[in-house]
């Protein structure tokens, strides 16, 4: 760990509560700094009221806090306007909004193709499969190279072969850690007059995101993977596209007028935020963005040091295979298997040693079945609060697991 972050665990109360915890599952959810936890308490203690509903002072204070966070999030990802920020529950909901509210605007039965990649999370597979049943479009999958990178030649070939209307791609794989060349993908998409949606769940909080420079049309992410609370997510989209899209859900707040027979939707972003929002979560997400803003320039260097140490030492474990691209093409997400040992058994033994990793197909079953060719893997993921000592403990834990299981 670099000197700058040797004491950073003190910012995260979970490590004071569990001092022996080696937390290697940030890909599933990041731990929360005290400023984010305090923000939730602050909202409920000082301004708990329904936003946009009342003209009394407490509601106005709550509304101001909610909308201030929208502005903070917009600035954090380089959005041109806070109108482009839709608060959702998570990345999954954000993608579903685009699938249901935007896709029918651009695709007709048997007259278009949606492209996804072989490394997608189920959240960026199933929404398109659901809509395929309704719209009967062509769903194609971009291949990977033997190095577990996106096959750009295959992408270009499919753009030429099919009438592609939308590319839905992950920015960073939650299994392989692969960083996809989103700017290049967006540039190719423009040449073929198609739109680009990015699942940024694993990218925001690890690398600097500027949606204005990426050239994409939609960018989605979850608060809980970037040190924010559970249950709050974001859909960013270009303002002109949001204007054209129909509301995703109907109910309170997302309307201007209602009669017995019809309604007129509210202006953006509110027409996509039906019902009472997670205002406290949005407020705390803003605090997470502010916390990350201070340390984001250093996270890459810190992760690179951890990754290098991991690769230098992990092959002390015999019969171990790591799946993913070279270190300069990824972030600190490593999925691996050990011959003849089940991932769940390994994870169980590691847990007995206070080491938290993920075991399974990581919501990427097609990737495991078709490419990794394993039903499950063990995944260790690293973040700013991890240390080289955590890697040492992981390796010792794996050695113990091998001794017990073989």
pLDDT of residue 282 exceeding 80, the answer is yes
Domain 37-288 falls in which CATH fold?
A: 3.40.640
Give catalytic status of residue 363 as yes or no: yes
State residue 3's pLDDT score: 63
State residue 2's pLDDT score: 56
Q: Summarize the confidence of residues 299-316 as an average pLDDT.
A: 96
Distance CA 263, CA 96 (A): 23
Instruction: Find the catalytic residue in 47, 194, 289, 363.
Output: 363
Fold match between 3-32+296-405 and 37-288? Answer: no
Distance CA 204, CA 77 (A): 8
Beta strands (DSSP E) in 266-332 are: 320-323
- Is-contact 164 115, C-beta < 8 A? yes
State residue 206's pLDDT score: 97
Mean of the per-residue pLDDT values of the chain: 97
CA angle 11, 301, 26 (to 5 degrees): 50
Helix (H) or strand (E) holding 333: strand 333-338
Domain locations in the chain as residue ranges: 3-32+296-405, 37-288
pLDDT of residue 281 exceeding 60, the answer is yes
Confidence of residue 224 (pLDDT cuts 50, 70, 90): very high
Confidence of residue 110 (pLDDT cuts 50, 70, 90): confident
Distance CA 351, CA 312 (A): 23
User: What does the chain come to in residues?
Assistant: 406
Helix (H, G, I), strand (E, B) or coil at 355: strand
State residue 4's pLDDT score: 67
What is the reported pTM? 0.97
Q: 205 to each of 23, 75, 133, 154, 289, how far by Cα in Å?
A: 17, 14, 35, 30, 8
DSSP tag of 372: I
Helix, strand, coil shares, percent, the chain, to 5: 45, 20, 35
State residue 164's pLDDT score: 98
Domain 3-32+296-405 falls in which CATH fold?
A: 3.90.1150
Which own/partner pairs from 130-135 qualify as long-range (CB within 8 Å, at least 24 positions apart)?
130/99, 131/99, 131/100, 131/103, 131/104, 134/104, 135/103, 135/104, 135/107, 135/108, 135/109
pLDDT of residue 331 exceeding 70, the answer is yes
pLDDT of residue 283 exceeding 60, the answer is yes
């Amino acid at each position: 760990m670099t000197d700058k972050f040797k004491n950073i665990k003190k910012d995260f109360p979970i490590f004071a509560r569990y001092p022996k915890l080696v937390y290697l599952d940030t890909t599933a959810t990041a731990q929360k700094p005290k400023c984010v936890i305090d923000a939730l308490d602050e909202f409920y203690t000082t301004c708990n009221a329904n936003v946009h509903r009342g003209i009394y002072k407490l509601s106005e204070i709550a509304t101001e806090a909610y909308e201030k966070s929208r502005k903070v999030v917009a600035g954090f990802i380089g959005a041109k306007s806070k109108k482009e920020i839709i608060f959702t529950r998570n990345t999954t909901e954000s993608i579903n909004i685009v699938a249901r509210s935007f896709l029918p605007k651009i695709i007709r039965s048997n007259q278009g193709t949606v492209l996804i990649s072989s490394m997608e999370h189920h959240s960026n597979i199933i929404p398109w499969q659901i809509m395929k049943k309704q719209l009967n479009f062509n769903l194609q999958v971009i291949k990977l190279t033997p190095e577990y990178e996106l096959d750009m030649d295959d992408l270009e070939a499919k753009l030429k072969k099919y009438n592609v209307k939308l590319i839905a791609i992950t920015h960073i794989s939650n299994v392989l850690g692969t960083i996809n060349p989103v700017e290049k993908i967006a540039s190719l998409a423009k040449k073929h007059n198609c739109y680009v949606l990015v699942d940024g769940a694993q990218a925001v909080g690890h690398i600097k995101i500027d949606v204005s420079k990426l050239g994409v049309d939609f960018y989605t992410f979850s608060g809980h993977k970037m040190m924010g609370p559970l249950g709050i997510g974001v859909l960013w989209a270009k303002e002109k596209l949001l204007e054209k899209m129909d509301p995703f859900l109907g109910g309170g707040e997302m309307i201007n007028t209602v009669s017995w027979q019809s309604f007129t939707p509210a202006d953006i972003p509110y027409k996509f935020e039906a019902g009472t929002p997670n205002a406290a979560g949005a407020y705390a997400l803003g605090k997470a963005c502010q916390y990350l803003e201070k340390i984001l320039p250093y996270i890459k260097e810190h992760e690179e040091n951890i990754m290098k140490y991991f690769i230098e030492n992990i092959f002390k474990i015999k019969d171990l295979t790591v799946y993913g691209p070279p270190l300069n093409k990824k972030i600190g997400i490593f999925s691996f298997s050990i011959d003849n040992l089940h991932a769940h058994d390994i994870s169980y033994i590691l847990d007995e040693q206070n080491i938290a990793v993920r075991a399974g197909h990581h919501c990427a079953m097609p990737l495991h079945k078709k490419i990794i060719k394993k039903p499950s893997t063990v995944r260790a993921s690293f973040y700013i609060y991890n240390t080289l000592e955590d890697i040492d403990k992981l390796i010792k834990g794996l050695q113990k697991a091998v001794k017990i299981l073989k």
